[in-house]
Chain A
Amino acid sequence: MWIDPERCVGCANCVAVCSMGAIAVDARTHRAVVNEDECVECYTCYRGMSREHLPPAVVRAIRGLARLFRFRFDPEPDVCPTGALTPRELTWPRSVRRAFSDPLVPHESTGLAGRGTEEVKTNDVTGRVKAGEAGFTVEFGRPGLGVRLRDIDRVTRALGAAGVTFEAANPVTSLMTDTKTGAIRDDILDEKVLSAIVEVKTGLARVSDVLRTLRSVSDDVSTVISVGVSARCDARGDTELDALLRADGFRFWRGKTNLGLGRPLYQEAV
């Protein structure tokens, strides 16, 4: 993202709106500027703010006059008065940032937008997580911190060494050079994204192993990791997963419940 200095009036509304805190008003020029290394190209500022399209010179004159008398205007916090936010055409590898950060951009590997995974949400149709299995969604960077792909690479390599299976239809998996080791391609490791989700699958008996692996490697990453664990329920709607997670000391009360209304219903081999 780029902020046009000819149009920016330094109102600072976009500063608070930035998901990564990558925008600041330059005290010398009184214009907002984007820290390009921290910007993840999520387009939150560009898309989320309404635009007034006012003439910058007029707005600057009014703001200057108000400042003279120490008046402070109390504008709507989500409005850019002059439409100064300007998207730039992105080239590889910077385009990776937007693919993972902007929820409206479909990812090539999945056809779904943003981090783009179906997880257990379509498990009734896909049979992605079968009876006796556990599916993990390991999410990096959210909320509000973002993540370098180098940090994700550290974790995927640790998971690969632990012998898990990476979900093939997942955007992060599509960036791996080796889905056995979990190695991510070198040319994008310094890119920062708003968040990314790694999906792996194991048998229910290995739930503790995977969580232990994540815990052990998490000291080496400069972001936060959120974890979701999924399982197929039995005919009564129960699953062994509850007891396994509780035995590992986890408390959980929120999640997604798939109601099994998708068609054609996946038929598991008996």
Chain B
Amino acid sequence: MTNTLHRYGSPESLRDDFIVFAIPSKSNREGSGPKLRAFLEIAAKHGPINMGGGGKGGFYRPSERVTPLVHWRARAAVPPSAVIEGCENPGTVAAVFDDVEKVKALLAELRQRDLGMSINVSALTEDARRAAEAAGLTRHSVEYSLGFAFGETDRMPDRLTLELATMCGHGMVAFGLVQKLCHLVKEGRRTPAEAARCLARFCTCGVFNVTRAERLLVESLALTRGPRTTKEES
């Protein structure tokens, strides 16, 4: 799965978006379960803003049964321990960070623990390279996103919709839902944080960056309301 490769946005827009993930290969998949759980346990110590493994969702998940109070009460996030316990089958496990310093610390610990799983950083490639070097690692391979390069690119929606929707690379965050939540935020019916968590609930891999989503929504509000002027300027 190319779940995190084509996140849309300029380097400035992507500045707080780092996904560190571990993945077994066919040749080392057997017995990889404990190593993948160990990865998540290590990652959890470094303050991720989201985590996922086993396809059961990240910190923000839908519920099979909710009461009507769901429309008025805030829904609780799942703790990292629940994500780790839910990681039963060998597969990709991931942790999302909004701070490069945390990534550097995580990579240093992963290097020292030597789990034997392939570890990747999905982010701005120069940031990932510098984080790796800070941890004493040289990148082995790299895959660059050329983005939505060909075909009917004129059918793509606006920038904000793309920035938010592509944070689930599997396409589970629909353009329609993003646009609906943007409207709700603009009308003051939802806060940017509530909208970000709602979008994150559709990402089954737990790689949706709620910090970036909230920031983008706040920035879009500022644009909607026009340039701010200080008292002195007015």
Q: Could you list which residues of chain A lie within 8 angstroms of chain B, going by C-beta atoms?
A: 15-21, 42, 44, 47-54, 74-79, 101, 103-104, 111-126, 129, 135, 137, 139-145, 169, 194-195, 197, 214-215, 218, 221-233, 235-237, 239, 241-242, 245, 250, 252-264
Contacts and interface: CB of A to CB of B under 8 A. Distances in A.
B68 interface: yes
Interface of B: 1-9, 11, 14, 21, 23-28, 55, 62-68, 70-71, 91-92, 107, 110-111, 114-126, 128-129, 132-133, 137-153, 155-157, 162, 165-166, 169-172, 174-177, 179-181, 184, 189, 198, 201-202, 204-205
A257 B138 contact: no
Contact of A104 (B55, B70, B122, B126): B55
25 contacts: A21-B175, A42-B172, A44-B172, A44-B202, A47-B62, A118-B26, A121-B21, A121-B143, A122-B23, A143-B8, A143-B166, A144-B171, A197-B2, A225-B148, A226-B145, A227-B147, A237-B129, A237-B138, A254-B9, A255-B122, A256-B4, A256-B120, A258-B118, A261-B114, A262-B28
A90 to B, nearest CB: 18
Contacts of A78: 62, 177, 198, 201-202
Contact of B142 (A18, A116, A256): A256
Contact of A77 (B125, B157, B169, B184): B184
Point out which of B5, B66, B156 has the most chain A C-beta atoms below 10 A from its C-beta. B5
Contacts of B110: 259, 261
A113 B169 CA distance: 13
Point out which of B126, B128, B184 has the most chain A C-beta atoms below 10 A from its C-beta. B128
Contacts of A44: 171-172, 174, 202
B139 A77 contact: no
Given A79-B71, A118-B23, A125-B27, A145 B152 contact: yes
The 10 A-B residue pairs whose C-beta atoms are closest, nearest first, are A260-B140, A218-B150, A262-B118, A230-B143, A263-B116, A122-B25, A16-B176, A257-B128, A225-B150, A48-B202
